[in-house]
Structure 1
Amino acid sequence: MSEDSTRNVRCLVAKVGLDGHDRGAHVITRAFRDAGFEVIYSGLHKAPDEIVQAAVQEDVDVLGISILSGAHNTLVPKIIEGLAEYDAAEDTLVIVGGIIPDEDRADLEAAGVDAIFGPGTPMADTISFIESNAPHRD
């Protein structure tokens, strides 16, 4: 294995807004830990600015936003804008998991989301995406 493939990837799994459905976030948190990632879980009902602060303070490589509330078009861009204010948007891989209608995907990607994973996505696909795309930090 190369040094890059064994480095410890830091992930923040975040629940934004009033979305109280956290089973998926717990499942993905466990899968990320099992894959060797260092994982921080935000807990429920976080405001976009709280997620930005946690991502910046914890110096995460990956921000995984779990959202099922339907407020993704409002809340996710606010998080990405907040990361940009701290010059952290370019070196943070932003992924979204949840129920995201096909018609909303392009706007989220244009806002800065690197990948969207819907229900039923194999864990291996998400983990492989992170391993291939997480920014390398010296």
Structure 2
Amino acid sequence: MIKEYETKLGSVKIDTERTIIFEYGIPGFENLKQFVLLEPEDTYPIMWLASLEDKNVAFPVTFPQLIRNDYQFTLPQDLTEYLELEKPEDAIILSILTIPEKEDEITINLAAPIIVSQKNHKGVQYLIENGEYKIRHLLKEELERSNAILSVQEDGE
């Protein structure tokens, strides 16, 4: 069913089957349970995880693997079962961005990815406790790091 919602990005028509349910909310926004992933062409690969319950809440997000090509973590079994993930392709993994006025100060949260099940449309924000990933990584530094890794890999072939 198509329904119109007011979001931070304006009025949008959403197929209600695209609604992502965060049963436990997102830390700091536990009262908000229903979100949708908006993918405006003019900002892609930056997308927006927009609340369908509070038009003032939308998080800029992107795929962390685009920024850090060696990004990986293991999801605990209980979350894998909750999200009904049988294979990696069943999940959409997103990282929240902080976008200040200065473009070179954009940060990405690699420590707490958003995981969305493509099977049951449930979402969670999972805190990775390995010490390697932080809540604020400078985007430009992560891109430079990934480019250096690719460069070394290409030289080694």
TM-score by length of 1: 0.28
* Structure with the largest fraction of strand: 2
Give the structure, 1 or 2, with the largest relative contact order (CA under 8 Å, sep 6 or more): 1
TM-score by length of 2: 0.26
* Structure with the largest fraction of helix: 1
